[in-house]
Amino acid sequence: AQTVTQSQPEMSVQEAETVTLSCTYDTSESDYYLFWYKQPPSRQMILVIRQEAYKQQNATENRFSVNFQKAAKSFSLKISDSQLGDAAMYFCAYRMDTGNQFYFGTGTSLTVIP
Amino acid sequence: DTGVSQDPRHKITKRGQNVTFRCDPISEHNRLYWYRQTLGQGPEFLTYFQNEAQLEKSRLLSDRFSAERPKGSFSTLEIQRTEQGDSAMYLCASSHRDRALYEQYFGPGTRLTVT
């Protein structure tokens, strides 16, 4: 079974600093997709960044980047130059290449301190 | 592109009552998903539609739950004989057939409270 683990229920970062959110997953598949979603308070979930498992290069989207370690089954999110608007719940998610289900972790609540 | 919409946003019901939620996906998206999210947890997959066909259902979806997507457009999720354990946020998401593997757009959710 696929499981996604986020071991940091809460994290905080000073505005303009860098923070890294951790995620590990368990799978026996070789082809899959990994995602980070952001869920601001009382707002809908939006995709932050995605990584295809067959790609060795780590994905980057502006201030957001990932550290994808396939052998270790680790997928961390780095947020650089943190902004107040980054405060949200962040969910790591996994999807098999051949499946329809997304499997989500329990989330990390990020607080940005002015 | 007006995004995924869900109605109602909040629903309070008494135990034993039936409730129905509606999801309107992004217009060109042929795939639609329902998730349930409880406090402190990530979304859990409930069911998936491709056009009007319900292709996958989670074991979480008991017999009291039914979902439909007539004509492959909007979808409804009905819960019969609600129980307190059904209290949760119900999320809908949609994706385009060409990008379904890696893009899901979520709606704002319907928060259900069963008293």
User: pLDDT tens digits for A17-71?
Assistant: 999 999 999 999 889 999 999 999 878 899 999 999 999 899 999 999 999 999 9
Residue A10: is its pLDDT beyond 80?
A: yes
Do the beta carbons of residue A23 and residue A32 sit within 8 Å? no
Q: Which residue of A has its CA nearest to B57?
A: A101
pLDDT of A1 reads 60
pLDDT of A84 over the 90 cut: yes
User: Closest-CA residue in chain A for B54?
Assistant: A100
Report which DSSP code applies to A59. P
Question: In angstroms, rounded to a whole number, what is the distance separating the alpha carbons of residues B25 and B34?
Answer: 11
Strand partners, B13: B114
Per cent of chain A over pLDDT 70 is: 98
Produce one character per residue of A63-94: b if its CB has 16 or more CB atoms within 10 Å, e if not. Answer: ebbbbbeeeebebbbbbeebeeebbbbbbbbb
Instruction: Give the mean pLDDT per block of 10 residues along chain B (115 residues).
Output: 89 98 94 92 92 89 93 94 96 84 87 97
CB B95 within 8 A of CB B106: no
A-contacting residues of B 56-85, CB under 8 Å? Answer: 56, 58
pLDDT, greater one: B99 or A9: A9
Hey, is the C-beta of B91 within 8 angstroms of any chain A C-beta? yes
What is the structure's pLDDT at A98? 78
